[in-house]
Amino acid sequence: MNRNLIIRTLGLVLLFEAGAMLPSLFISLYFGENDREAFLSTIALLAVPGFLLYLVRVKDTTVGYREGFAIATMAWLVTAAFGGIPFLLSGSLPTFYDAFFESMSGFTTTGASVFTDVEALPRGLLFWRSFTHFLGGMGTIVLILALIPSLKIAGMQLYKAEVPGPTKSKVLPRILQATRQLWKVYVIITAAEVILLALAGMPLFDSFIHTFGSVGTGGFSSKNASVGAYNSLAIEAIIIFFMVICGMNFALHYAALRGNFRSLLQDPETRLYLGIIAASTLLISVNLTHSAGHSAGDAVRNSLFTVSAIITTTGFATADFDRWPDFSRYILLLLMFVGGCAGSTGGAIKNVRILILFKSASRQFLKLLHPQAVVPVRLGREVIPDEVVDNVQTFFYLYMLIFLGSTLYMTSLGLDLITAASSVAATLGNIGPGLGMVGPMTNYAALPASGKVLLSFCMLIGRLEIYTVLVVFSIRFWRKGQ
Amino acid sequence: MKITVIGSGKVGLEITRRLSEEGHDLVVIDKEESKLAKILENNLDVMAMKGSGSSAKVLKSPEVMGSDLLVAVTNSDEINMIACMMAKKLGIPKTVARIRDPDYARDLVVSKEDLGLDLVVNPEYAAAMEINRLLTMALPVHTEVFAKGKIQMADITVGESMPVFANRKLKDVELPRSCLIVAISRRGEMVIPGGKDTILPGDTLYILGHSDAIDRVCARIKKKKQKMQRVLILGGGRIAYYLAEKLCSLGLRVKIIEQNQERCRDLAERLPGVLVLRGDGSDIEILKREGIKETDGFVAVTGIDEENLLISLLAKQMGAKRVVAKVSRPSYTQLVERLGVDAAISPRLIMVSEIMRFIRGGRLLSLFLLLNGQAEVFELIVQPGTKIAGRTLKTSGLPKGAIVGAILRGDEAIIPEGNDVIMENDRLVVFALGHIMHNVESLFNVGGHFLEQKPYHPDAGTGPAL
């Protein structure tokens, strides 16, 4: 393994994070709040070792499979660990694992919080918390590579590790070009949402916070009652639109911005995704009006917002969906597993994998009837190679295995089944709020320490799509000479 | 006319033979001496040249210079294309290329002219279209449209249960006045019938007439509506690919059995609606398992003539309703239909007829081939000053084996009798047996001239490029 390369890249990541903290520092200075020292010290803590590591000499700049996985996993761990330090130093959070949980939740765009009262937080910290969503949404490592091409580190392995989805579609022949273009799209969408939210009457600072929360499909809010606090139809509509947009494949947005709307509209994954949103909204609205006595208008408005927030894995809330009937709650729990589309900022299993799983199952039936049939799995007109189908099946298996195992552990801590299961589903899928004790109007503060650590790892595993993290923790990975 | 043929494989040889018989001057070019030797074995009076057909040196040689037409039929699509492009640049006015790769064939839709190709023939595509026609037609009827829809030709396969036709003399058959039985195909052979001939069960009748009259005839027969729904194709070559694609687009359910795993994958990826099975087609078990009994059409298009024949017979016995086999060797074709296989297709013959048709070209408006080119139906316009204009049909000197099926004068369509007069600018629908084609042509004075109009019928299997 190319150790020096990994170390140098980590150094770079630290330097980048120090830079990324500057806006929060300026906000802190501008408002003159007490988190100033916390940011200053953290930036120093990041910059000094970052600079030293960056000085390490690297002879060979090729990133192999191992280096790719190792860099991705370690960089995310280190970033999250350092990202939590301001919370710790400012005294907002009492312990390291709380800070780590909050920071990991930010970078992995989960949006699960251990703050009991976010409205009491200084604005610098609030901004930092949400800014990590923005950074984590599109993946930071490849961004760093894209911003500093002089490093000449070929990013294919890292790109594979960071961009979600079973097949990685590149919009341009070179990874770094592609990354830059996708980030451009991302920034355009972000700017549009900030402007629209501000126009809709949200304070500018809050607009940034909620924009970061929705474009990164994270879900941190500056209000305890989340988006519900504004009680504005316009704001909710804008946020729904942007959450749904950011749950779609950015490569297709890139094509659409260049005038090719057809590939977006004809994409089978996008269609499934929108179909699931429509169907779930309908079912939940009917359930709310009939069993819970909501008015039809409220039911549609709240269910559309909640369904969008959950399936895109954002996790904003306008209503306490934990108090909804079980049928609605169960649909939401299922949506936590579906997630967004490949190549989006959303998490969880992703629609394309669900599609491939169904297609693969129907192929099995066909093969039972015609044992000699040669049938490729297809999405639309495109043929999915068998390796990808295998990869998706294993992914699903591992995803469920991790979910079941982690839920087992959470129940052993004395949590009730719904809390245990939904907390794991909500962190593994990078959603944020779950059900029961971790519902939308409560938070993760009350969970036992070891539970928070486990859930922090669930977030990382979910964000890097299982394989990247698990392979680094496998014995074979560290065996020499392989 | 001076014609250069590049490639003297089986197709090249057949074309050379036919063109030489029709009196053209031929230069044949091939890289391999052994293949050129075959020309001599066949006692053909042509010039054989050894060399690469795509090299400028050969194309510029005095033997080739001054050709009116270049036909490139080597095994390689690329060489054929390059040869035609260069020939065009070097001043040969017309070129014909054999191009078989489906990917090329499709691209040519936009670039045929740019490449300097006047005709692209794709034997597999043409064969597939012919098989498609054979499968979807004649159960019991199939019709083909001429003269902008005013005239139709129906082919009707006579069954025992068709009292209108079976075991009757031709003159006793009751047909609407504006219909004409122009030919009968009996056991794979095409005959032009006389009034005393008897129609036997199993014959295929070709009836030409006004569209509404033909519809009435068809309606009388179509009582038992048999529909082609399931087709099983044995062998996954290019013919299978084109055929499956076509049948699928018509909404039929198609299965392909192919041995080679790679080929199976390729087909399965290219043909979303088709079930591709990997297996040995000569294995009866797989045929049984895949429901050969309920199959409406069985098509054997593997690379081996004998296998195609035998398995088709087997399939027929096992209950497949209509069976078509690909038989490349022309000597087998006639035998096949006597054996009980419904039709035998020879891509090579189809392609040769297609090229011949192009060479004869002339003033034919639309053309339609029957039974591997044994007979042709074509439309032509009587040019002012031709021998035939002004005469009655009786005195026209039209050879036996050719029938004028319809005359279009202005907006009027006439099903002619002996005393009708052919006039200038009439549009004729003529039915003729293949071997007397050139007699007919000389009569109408259309041989050997090229017109700018494309002289072939777009549906008659000229390849996707057209």
- What is the CATH number for B365? 3.30.70.1450
pLDDT tens digit sequence for B186-223: 877 777 777 778 888 878 788 887 777 777 777 776 54
Same structural domain for residues B336 and B365?
no
Option in A372, A376, A383 nearest B278 (CB): A372
A378 touches B: beta carbon within 8 Å: yes
Same structural domain for residues B8 and B113?
yes
- Residue A147's Cα: distance from chain center in Å? 22
The mean per-residue pLDDT over the stretch A158-166 comes to 68
Q: Is residue B326 part of a domain?
A: yes
Interface contact flag, A374 B277, Cβ < 8 Å: yes
The mean per-residue pLDDT over the stretch A230-234 comes to 92
Same structural domain for residues B19 and B117?
yes
Q: Is residue A359's pLDDT more than 50?
A: yes
Q: Which amino acid is at A57?
A: R
Q: Is residue B368 part of a domain?
A: yes
Residues of A in contact with B286 (CB under 8 A): 372
Which residue range is the domain that position B316 belongs to? 230-345
pLDDT at residue A237 in the model: 95
Q: Is residue B162 part of a domain?
A: no
Contact B6, B74 (CB under 8 A): yes
Residues of A in contact with B269 (CB under 8 A): 376, 383
Q: Look at residues B58, B90, B121 and tell me which one is the last residue of a structural domain.
A: B121
Q: How far apart are CA B337 and CA B332, in angstroms?
A: 9
Q: Is residue A62's pLDDT more than 80?
A: no
Closest-CA distance, B105 to chain A, in angstroms, reads: 21
Option in A370, A378, A381 nearest B275 (CB): A370
Task: With cut-offs at 50, 70 and 90, classify the pLDDT of residue A167.
Answer: low
Same structural domain for residues B52 and B115?
yes
Same structural domain for residues B235 and B333?
yes
Same structural domain for residues B263 and B369?
no
Percent of chain A with pLDDT over 70: 94
Task: With cut-offs at 50, 70 and 90, classify the pLDDT of residue A166.
Answer: low
pLDDT along chain B (466 residues), means of 10: 88 85 86 83 84 85 86 90 88 87 65 74 84 67 60 74 75 76 78 79 80 74 63 91 87 90 91 89 82 87 88 87 83 71 80 76 57 71 74 78 80 78 80 74 55 37 35
- What would the two tokens of residue B23 be? 């009196």
Same structural domain for residues B245 and B331?
yes
pLDDT at residue A380 in the model: 82
- What would the two tokens of residue B67 be? 């050709």
A367 to chain B: closest CA residue: B277
- What is the CATH number for B242? 3.40.50.720
Q: Look at residues B88, B121, B154 and tell me which one is the last residue of a structural domain.
A: B121
A386 to chain B: closest CA residue: B265
Q: Is residue B223 part of a domain?
A: no
Q: Give every CB contact of residue B34 below 8 A, 6+ residues apart in sequence.
A: none
Closest-CA distance, A265 to chain B, in angstroms, reads: 21
Same structural domain for residues B12 and B116?
yes
Of A172 and A291, the one with more pLDDT: A291
Q: Look at residues B121, B151, B178 and tell me which one is the last residue of a structural domain.
A: B121
B279 touches A: beta carbon within 8 Å: yes
- Other CB atoms within 10 A of residue B219 CB: 10
Number of structural domains (chain B) is 3
Q: How far apart are CA B270 and CA A383, in angstroms?
A: 9
Q: How far apart are CA A287 and CA A326, in angstroms?
A: 9
Q: Is residue A75's pLDDT more than 70?
A: yes
Q: Is residue B305 part of a domain?
A: yes
Same structural domain for residues B339 and B368?
no
Same structural domain for residues B243 and B316?
yes
pLDDT at residue B191 in the model: 79
Q: Is residue B145 part of a domain?
A: no
B265 touches A: beta carbon within 8 Å: yes
Q: What is the ipTM, given to two decimal places?
A: 0.73
Same structural domain for residues B313 and B355?
no
Interface contact flag, B275 A376, Cβ < 8 Å: no
Same structural domain for residues B235 and B334?
yes
pLDDT at residue A47 in the model: 92
Mean confidence (pLDDT) of chain A? 89
Q: Is residue B158 part of a domain?
A: no
Residues of A in contact with B271 (CB under 8 A): none
Q: How far apart are CA A202 and CA B36, in angstroms?
A: 87
Q: Is residue A219's pLDDT more than 80?
A: yes
Residues of B in contact with A383 (CB under 8 A): 269
Interface contact flag, A370 B277, Cβ < 8 Å: yes
- Residue A256's Cα: distance from chain center in Å? 23
Contact A302, A294 (CB under 8 A): yes
pLDDT at residue B276 in the model: 93
Option in B261, B268, B286 nearest A375 (CB): B268
**Residue B323, phi then psi, degrees to nearest 5:** -125, 130
Q: Is residue B418 part of a domain?
A: yes
Contact A67, A137 (CB under 8 A): no
Q: Give every CB contact of residue B225 below 8 A, 6+ residues apart in sequence.
A: none
